[in-house]
Amino acid sequence: MTLSSLLTVGEIIPEMKTMERWPAITEIVDLLVSTQRIEPQYRESVLDALKQREETMSTGIGFGIAIPHASSEHVTEVVAAFGRSPSGIEFDSLDNELVHFIVLFVVPRDQFQVHLRTLAAIAKFLNDRTVREELATAPDAQAILQVFASRGGHR
């Protein structure tokens, strides 16, 4: 499976509206609710799980990347979305830099190994400076998805 298989064009926000961490996470979760990847009645529960994880330590890992993630009993498969912020989002990142790329994912509660593999694959994929440059210059959601597909993003 590839990281691109976790995303569709509808799960990509090429121009995020918010400029702060919590509203950014909410914006992406709301997208997943609107695309029916997360059922509306579980929105708050999923947000709470993401915020609880985020309060342990920021998922802003540096290089303009954040990977908010959590597990939940309210999803039956890995659910993911990607957001891009050309202006940057204050995310309390480990390197104190603004975040330009957010990959948010939620994994079923009982799939710890899948959770770790997904996190590692996303981090490795976005660690490539060329990938980040291509994501930054992609003109729309379709082009962003193509970067994920063409660059492999294998798990």
Active site residues: 69
Q: Is 99 exposed, middle or buried (CB count within 10 Å of its CB: 0-12, 13-18, 19+)? A: buried
The identity of residue 89, as a single letter, is I
Block residue for tokens 């954040």: 66
- The strand ranges marked E within the chain are 12-13, 60-62, 65-66, 69-72, 79-89, 99-108
Q: Are strands 69-72 and 79-89 parallel, antiparallel or unpaired?
A: unpaired
Distance CA 11, CA 47 (A): 17
Distance CA 4, CA 30 (A): 20
Number of neighbouring beta carbons within 10 Å of residue 60: 25
